[in-house]
A = this chain, B = another copy of it.
Amino acid sequence: MALMPGEFDFIDWISAQHKPSALVRVPQGDDLAVLNWPNEDLLLVGVDQVLDGVHFDSNIHPPRAIGRKVMNRNLSDCAAMACLPAAAVTTAALPRGVGMEYAKELYLGLRDAADPFGCEIVGGDTASWEGKLVLTVTILGRSAGIAPITRSGARPGDAIYVTGPLGGSILGRHMTFEPRIALARQLAATGRVSAMIDLSDGLSRDLGHICRQSEVGAIVDAASIPIHADAITLSRDGESPVDHAMNDGEDHELLLTGEVEGLGLPVIRVGEVTADAEMRLVRDGRVETLQPRGWEHRI
């Protein structure tokens, strides 16, 4: 009897993709992977998920692009902390009957994103169900000689920077962004970055995270915010390009504080950290309160 392919066929196929490395002592295929963690390295760890209908649309986005996105979300968290991605584990909840080729494409998308950074996929859990596609990636990063940059180090007087144009990522860039790991490491290596985060929830909300965790405020100059062409396209809905740039989210550029101008690094100054706990926006010569309006899941 010819069975449908099963998870163990898929695991066999994945195992065949694995190459020996100094990091991995026991690769995927056992109960847990065993890693030789470098003694000198801090271990950074986090997890992100993508859900069909929320973070992607399986009717539109091919599986390879979906795999790339969830890995890149995690790699972007490594950028935010200025660490190097080392290893990842992953789960897939596959809609029943989706087929082996679809599962392989998801995996290859993960690899497309991870391989350029030497990040190895060392384990996973695959299941099928009646629900829609859910992918998760857990990333392990290593400090590799650079102290991690947290959200809590911003100090009054620090400048506020972003690393690229913002807004309108829903038009497509939310699936195709590139994690800013190399730039983050360059920035952190200057010793002049006080706090950093990747722009996933939107500038207004992510700056709010830095302000709250650093116990500071911020004043942002609307005219200095780099606007992506997609934000202008989207502004036909009546919301201004600046508001799209402030609030859309999933740009995955870096937002950082410190003093890093004049070093030849591609950063755009958008404001300054303040001592009081308020966030303000200067727009058209007027000062308004800056409300966190980016994405938040309701529970």
Contacts of A129 in B (CB 8 A): 51, 53-54
Residues of B within 8 A of A284 (CB): none
Q: Interface-forming stretch among A94-102, A155-163, A266-274, A275-283?
A: A94-102
A3 within 8 A of B: yes
Among B30, B42, B91, B122, which residue has its beta carbon within 8 angstroms of that of A150?
A: B30
* B47 adjacent to A89 (CB under 8 Å): yes
Taking a contact as CB atoms under 8 Å apart, the answer to whether A126 and B297 are in contact is yes
Whether A47 pairs with B298 at a CB distance below 8 angstroms is no
Q: In chain A, residues 34-80, which have Cβ atoms closer than 8 Å to a Cβ of chain B?
A: 34-37, 39, 41-49, 51-55, 77-78, 80
Q: Smallest CB-CB separation from A44: which chain B residue?
A: B32
CB distance from A69 to the nearest CB of B (A): 14
Interface centre among A123, A127, A139 (most CB of B within 10 A): A127
* Shortest Cβ distance from A141 into B: residue: B32
Choose the segment among A6-14, A166-174, A225-233, A242-250 that binds chain B (4+ C-beta atoms closer than 8 Å).
A6-14
Flag whether A125 is at the interface (Cβ < 8 A).
yes
Q: What chain B residues lie within 8 Å of A124 (beta carbons)? A: 47
Q: Judging by beta carbons under 8 Å apart, are B298 and A128 in contact?
A: yes
**Within 8 Å CB of A213, what residues of B?**
29-30
**CB-based contact B93/A51 at 8 Å:** yes
Task: Report Cα–Cα, A158/B286, bound state, in Å.
Answer: 80
Q: Is A285 an interface residue (CB 8 A)?
A: no
A103 to B248, CA, bound (A): 26
A residues whose Cβ falls under 8 Å from a Cβ of B: 3-10, 25-26, 29-37, 39, 41-49, 51-55, 77-78, 80-81, 83, 87, 89-91, 93-94, 96-100, 103, 122-132, 134, 136, 138-141, 143, 148, 150-152, 197-198, 213, 296-299
